[in-house]
Structure 1
Amino acid sequence: MNSNTIAKGIVKAVAIILAIVLALYALYLIRSVIAYILIAAVVSLIGRPIVIFLEQRLKFKKTIAAVLTMAILLGFVLGLVSLFIPLVIKQSENLALLDINKLEQNVSTLYNEALNYFNLRNIDLSESFKESGLLSKVNIAVIPELLNGFISGLGSFSVGLFSVLFISFFFLKDSKLFENGLLTFVPDSKTIGTRTSILKIKGLLSRYFNGLLLQITILFIIYTVVLLIFGINNAVVIAFLCALLNLIPYVGPIISAILLVLLSMSSNLGENFQEVILPTTIKVFIGFIIAQLVDNFFSQPFIFSKSVKSHPLEIFLIIIIGGLLFGILGMIIAVPSYTALKVVLKEFLSDYTVVQKLTRNVE
């Protein structure tokens, strides 16, 4: 090997590394667009059963079916926005008029009643809380600024929403558009296998995301009924937030439980602890447990058996690994990502024993 060959090899290696770096940098610059495309792909998977129903059962044309599906999904999003914006504005106004001294007195009273009820009088945290003056340090004046920031952020949200809806429409109208886009980066020799994998992934993930939608809906209904029965303020919004938090595996239900307990107690702030606050909170918590039992013994087995087709321990380990690598986002996307990976492995590496064992339930 002469020096000329070595020099060419070095130049080629440097060129490849430089090309990879530039490609990664380009992807970083257009990360928002990539996010829009991925979100639109998820939206199209959720809307796919609706389009199929409108096309095959009601005999609508693809364009009309896609338009109606987008109208349904958009109506759902607008309903959520219309639900939260008035609440945020109202709560901001309430905070701006908040009497800190009265709030501190109510919290202190609630705390003392809780200590007396549970016989924890030796723990004198109440005085420390008063001396710290934490509530008096809360700057209520920043609330209007936060509200302005929230409203200005709606502009960016609107751009993102329009982009996602626009892309989603074409994904729904032409179900092979996303598929063909991916195939442009695949060698001709791998086209058939890749197309087969994409079709399987679309079917599995469509069932998975619609299963999650069913899961959230069931929890939302149960939480709403429970909170309305016991007169908790903003019951619908709290129920939706707690149901949505359930998308975070393992951690989400814990956060939901804490949120429900705290908001149930704060909803009755100023009432007698033993006669009103504690019984109401316990009843709400029992309702939460019932909702979780329904979720764990009905919703989740249905979702995982129909789409993921993996052992519960396998799912647990994948979620933990996803959380360690990418945090909460990793926990959320771990299951669908792993499902897609299993399909690809079975299609291209099915000769390996470990792949055969991992993908034996994947059709």
Structure 2
Amino acid sequence: MNSENRFIKFLGGRNLVFSLSLLILIGIMIFIYDKISFVFNPIIVVLSTITPPIILAFIAYYLLNPIVDFLERLRIKRIWGIVIIILGISGLLAGIILLTAPAIEAQVKELFRNFPNYVQQLWKDVTTSIENSFLGPYYDNAYDWVVSNFSDIPGIVGSYIGNAFEGIQNVASTVTNFVVVLVTFPIILFFLLKDGDRFKAYCLKLLPPKFRKDVNQILDNMDAQVGSYIQGQIIVATCIGILLYIGYLIIGLDYAITLAIIAAITSVVPYLGPTLSIIPAAIIAIVDSPFMLLKLAIVWVIVQFLEGNFISPNIMGKTMKIHPLTIVIVLLVAGNLFGIIGVILGIPGYAILKVLVAYFYNKFKARYNRYYGEEYGAYAQDQQSENK
């Protein structure tokens, strides 16, 4: 009997009934929402409108807040430090765009115009090599099978493209959304940099005093995890882009700056991004010559060696503590669920979820130790866990 009572107390005692009732009410609310979800369409529209500038502002906040803090330590008022940084970065970006935009635009246009020819030439070379090899007798059969089973692919692709164009025909809406992001992003960023700490303290004061310390701990852990990831990943991606650009220039690869920009952008996504970014460069290199492909491989190996052994360990550190296989799984799942947004934000979302799971697991261990630790042996407690 004592064992049963102890188990009920371990699960929450009288609070267990409240928790189960709360779960039932949440389930009923979800069921009702599924039936009348159209009522919430205006709320969904509002959230979809304000979410992009808020996400961009938070990304920029994590990048710029350390600089603002540094200027504040130099006794420059925070508001003036923010103004200096925003004006400086805006001027720097404007100068870079004015100086490099014509060359990049011409190179991008030429790459998009010629890339289909590169792919076609690569396919022709592969076909010729297969026909002249021991696989030649099987080539015709394989080709007929592909044609018979995938002959309608152009029609399918065309229908998808048509649907996509139908979805973006409302140019006014697209332009409006872009203008909203462009106008609201700097405003949100300014107030995040100026009043971020005050906003956090204000939100904590809204909570009951009993929960403030725990919530503050969770927010601090999330801030450290997500902030370090965003700062580190963008710096690492920028370094990869610069190193590849230098390497492409050295080996004389065409479209060096465009391919380096593609690599820098895709490298924001860990593991999968750098692998995808090398594909267009490899196609261009192999069509140029086998020797160019060899030089590209050497450049890629050198850049990956520098990134894996010097750049990432010193910039990213050990803060995230996520296994590479976990990162790949998270990216695949998030990509299937939310598309490109899921791929970009999957790892920060996982980091937030990991902080929450770790917090509740520590609470579970502390509760177990209270009711069963002396009799059956206690869990090892983390330094941040408390016996509650």
> Shared fold (TM-score greater than 0.5)?
yes
- Aligned residue for 1:69? 85
Q: CA deviation at 1:341?
A: 2.4
Q: Secondary structure at the match of 1:257?
A: helix
Cα distance, 1:243 vs. partner? 2.0
SS at match of 1:45: helix
- Alpha-carbon distance change, 157 to 88 in structure 1, aligned in 2, over 3 angstroms: farther
Partner of 1:219: 240
Offset at 1:21?
4.6
Q: Any idea what SS the aligned residue of 1:226 has? A: helix
> Which consecutive residues of structure 2, in runs of 5 or more, have no partner in the other structure?
1-24, 144-150, 152-164, 369-378
Q: Percent of aligned pairs with the same residue? A: 24
Counterpart of 1:272 in structure 2 is none
Given that residues 249 and 331 in structure 1 are in contact (C-alpha distance below 8 angstroms), is that contact kept between their aligned partners in structure 2?
A: no
- Structure-1 separation of matches of 2:349 and 2:192: 20
Aligned counterpart, 1:297: 309
Equivalent positions of 1:311-350 (< 5 A) are 311-347=323-359, 350=362
User: Does residue 1:255 correspond to 2:276, yes or no?
Assistant: yes
Counterpart residue number, 2:258: 237
Flag the 1:177–1:234 CA change in 2: closer, same or farther, 3 A: farther
- The 1:117–1:178 alpha-carbon spacing in structure 2 relative to 1, beyond 3 Å, is farther
Q: CA deviation at 1:278?
A: 2.0
- 1:26 and 1:18 map into 2 onto residues whose CA distance is 14
The Cα shift of 1:72 comes to: 4.2
Aligned to 1:193: 214
For 1:82-128, what per-residue CA distance to the aligned partner results, in whole angstroms no more than 9, with x for missing partners? 545763467558989x9xxxx96x987776666667884646899xx
Question: What does 1:1-363 align with in structure 2 at a 5 Å threshold?
Answer: 17=32, 21=37, 25-30=41-46, 31-56=48-73, 58-75=74-91, 77-78=93-94, 82=98, 83=100, 87-88=104-105, 92=109, 120=132, 122=136, 156-176=177-197, 179=200, 183=204, 189-265=210-286, 268=288, 277-302=289-314, 305-347=317-359, 350-353=362-365
Question: Which range is displaced more, 68-77 or 335-344?
Answer: 68-77
Residue 286 of structure 1 deviates from its aligned partner by 1.8
Amino acid aligned to 1:257: I
Determine if contact 2:111/2:255 at 8 Å carries over to the other structure: no
Residue by residue, what CA displacement relative to the aligned partner does 1:206-239 show, whole Å, maximum 9, x if unpaired? 2221111221122112101111112233322220
Q: Secondary structure at the match of 2:270?
A: coil
Q: Output the TM-score relative to the length of structure 2.
A: 0.65
CA deviations 1:53-100 (Å, max 9, x no partner) are 1111x221100111122234434654675545763467558989x9xx
Paired residues of 2:222 and 2:355 also in contact (CA < 8 A): yes
> Following the alignment from structure 1 to structure 2, what is the Cα–Cα distance between the partners of residues 347 and 107?
51
Which sections of structure 1, spanning at least 5 residues, go unmatched?
A: 1-9, 127-131, 133-144, 269-276
Specify the SS of the correspondent of 2:252: coil
Match of 2:375 in 1: none
* Superposed displacement of residue 242, structure 1: 0.9
In 2, distance between residues paired with 1:171 and 1:243? Answer: 27
Q: Distance in 2 between matches of 1:305 and 1:355?
A: 33
The change in CA–CA distance for 1:175 and 1:91 in structure 2 (over 3 A counts) is closer
Q: Against the structure 1 CA distance between its residues 93 and 284, is the aligned structure 2 distance closer, same or farther, given a 3 Å change threshold?
A: closer
Whole-angstrom CA distance in 1 between matches of 2:360 and 2:110: 59
Cα distance, 1:177 vs structure 2: 5.2
